[in-house]
Structure 1
């Protein structure tokens, strides 16, 4: 890596991110069934019908994994708590689940790692999915109760907390495109999920404030939207995609409204009384998180109903996910988020990384493309900071190769290679490069 820790401010935090269902092993510890278990058990949804029952067995191996984080010189561990582990039916606390996150938190602190929690990274308890899940307005209260239960136990030791990871994925990807659980393709369900996710977000922030907690934020995933050509139609559809993907949730949280182009499609389907919820949704935050991986080229598709657009293949180099590598998009989002929404509020890059084939050969795993990816994106972070954007940290996705949702165990994002048969961990060359960079001249 061409950078070292001293190239950044003293209080700039480097971290790594994971999520509970992707690494813990949901078959352990009496965790409840989730809609991802149901989704994976349905033919055609997930590669080889793989699920998170074992995953990386972080449930039993978390001490080893935390040693890897500390050994690399990383400051923060952005992890998620599983709603279905804390409350197997979504509403009744599990002492075993609470005890696990208690042990995990203490183990982080023992190693000098700052715990950065996310309350929801997509593993909705099946019992709540049966009641409509994110389509049901009651989920905001259920989520508030879950927040109070888990943060009442570990909240006093958290460095930071965000309620819901990537609202676009929880709503649009899962209820409109059907690619993630619950696998719906329904505009009415999507509109209601969008709104109820933000209502649950605000409810959780208010709940944590009542517990005396601070350093609370929101995490939003972003894809830079580029017109596929110079036509007016492509430019308009790229703007619509930008509002759906990038502006919709930030606008709800920071401005108390949904963008006009988005409203053109979802307004008839929003729940009754939705306008009255923005006092909760806009509950002030202490920071904002940006998850960034790629850009998309957008073209019109008049053969389809609203939003009548499609993604087309772009010319840039691509990751193993077939996502274009476009580091400048991170700079653009950091600048725009501060200018349009957050002002002086601290911004964290809460996820950034890439998938690669990452073959283990003779006990080593070289991943030079990942090293180059991190270098290029950190350069854009420094560019934004030099122009006054208050970026306070950068978290890599991910610590471990893990369960990549509908893509099963094929796509490897980790700094650490995981053999999914033996569960052996092998740090990749990117892990060693980051360790060297963060350990230099500290």
Structure 2
């Protein structure tokens, strides 16, 4: 395991633009959470081993043309076997919190009913290994990998998922609640609804606008019910859920562009947080959402609300939109970003994170905010056994500066999780998009700390 050499770290951490970092870790306060984030399907591997059942992503990756280079995650980063090495790396980089997800189908191979003791034992080993290293585990219950057995019964389109999810959450809370106190219910529900069940770009690959509203409603109900179960079953739990968020700016001050921006903001940023706050769905800006009433039952309006301890925000870019008659639902289209772009084609806009923090910080019902994901993919290469990624160092420096700005202005943001600890299987992008602070050679599984990882090690020391 490679230890931090601060001589190398200092040479790696030279600011790419020749400007010194103007803040330190201490500026964020001693109780600020620092961590990295991963998800089960993207790193674990052992996809068909140790009693794990298939998930929707296992099936989706076998469909030709769905994943770049027809990649699959059968092995991924082999974290199932290498978790101790990976946690040693996390500790070496100076982080004290680790956000990871549980694989629903590793615990319930059939989605409900039968428990897989080998899967449960693995997560106990992982949690124990975190504690042994002084790392606090943060569990995400659902990070997109629905058991295929439940998809075969309707998946998120079926209202039965409220019962399936409650069974899963109740088991996990009871099994791990004595040793884990930080919990996240859902990861980016908007992506599940829009990419998985409307555009079909993600698993399970379902297409059709008619699927969007029932999936949204079932996700929102499960989000709140998951929170209630955790509050009930885990004494002292710190319970949250996470949203992917992007500031939405109109292309021009014209009324049409402004209305288009408000509609898209309702979808990207308001759709799931406002129901949890007891505000209902944002039909004021997007009247189409009124049709969700056809999927609501008596009492649902009240069941949507839950008083979360924190809301996790995940920001990667901001969006500029303009009115377009070609897209009758939104009447909006993204304007291509200008300036620096990541390997994903996303525009780098550090001030966007400040904007989204202030937007969510304005909600009276939100107690705390956590940046539960933030990071960038660049074209990393190993040269002479090292990975120099100055663009990523600049990215993290500039985004953290905006987190600190919001915090100093009174926004209740109290943690930051970098995406990601490791290069990993990046969903439809396969292995092309590298977000890690640690480079992974997928052929040999060798880990190499990147210069951005050394930058964090120095910053957090």
TM-score after normalising by structure 2: 0.92
Deviation at 1:185, TM superposition (A): 2.4
- Equivalent residue, structure 2, for 1:68: 89
- The DSSP-based 3-state class of the residue aligned with 1:161 is strand
CA-atom RMSD in angstroms: 1.5
- Equivalent residue, structure 2, for 1:47: 68
- Equivalent residue, structure 2, for 1:334: 357
Indicate conservation of the 8 Å contact 1:228/1:299, yes or no: yes
Aligned counterpart for 1:80 among listed residues 101, 106, 118: 101
- Equivalent residue, structure 2, for 1:182: 204
Change (3 A) 1:147 1:436: same
**Matches for 1:86-165 after TM superposition, within 5 Å:** 86-91=107-112, 92-165=114-187
Deviation at 1:189, TM superposition (A): 0.9
- Equivalent residue, structure 1, for 2:4: none
Runs (5+) with no aligned partner, structure 2: 1-12, 14-20
Indicate conservation of the 8 Å contact 2:250/2:322, yes or no: yes
Q: Which moved more, 1:238-247 or 1:25-34?
A: 25-34
Distance (whole Å) between structure 2 residues aligned to residue 86 and residue 262 of structure 1: 40
- The DSSP-based 3-state class of the residue aligned with 1:157 is coil
Indicate conservation of the 8 Å contact 1:188/1:269, yes or no: no
Change (3 A) 1:414 1:395: same
Aligned counterpart for 1:12 among listed residues 28, 32, 43: 32
Distance (whole Å) between structure 1 residues aligned to residue 198 and residue 145 of structure 2: 18
Question: Does 2:24 match 1:24?
Answer: no
Indicate conservation of the 8 Å contact 1:294/1:326, yes or no: yes
Distance (whole Å) between structure 2 residues aligned to residue 266 and residue 313 of structure 1: 27
Deviation at 1:275, TM superposition (A): 6.1
- Equivalent residue, structure 2, for 1:198: 220
Runs (5+) with no aligned partner, structure 1: none
- The DSSP-based 3-state class of the residue aligned with 2:421 is coil
Question: Does 2:208 match 1:208?
Answer: no
Change (3 A) 1:349 1:111: same
TM-score after normalising by structure 1: 0.96
Change (3 A) 1:206 1:269: closer
Distance (whole Å) between structure 2 residues aligned to residue 274 and residue 314 of structure 1: 42
Aligned counterpart for 2:191 among listed residues 169, 174, 193: 169
Moved over 3 A (4+): 269-272
- Equivalent residue, structure 2, for 1:298: 321
Q: Which moved more, 1:150-159 or 1:324-333?
A: 150-159
Deviation at 1:263, TM superposition (A): 5.2
Question: Does 2:312 match 1:289?
Answer: yes
Distance (whole Å) between structure 2 residues aligned to residue 271 and residue 101 of structure 1: 40
Deviation at 1:274, TM superposition (A): 4.4
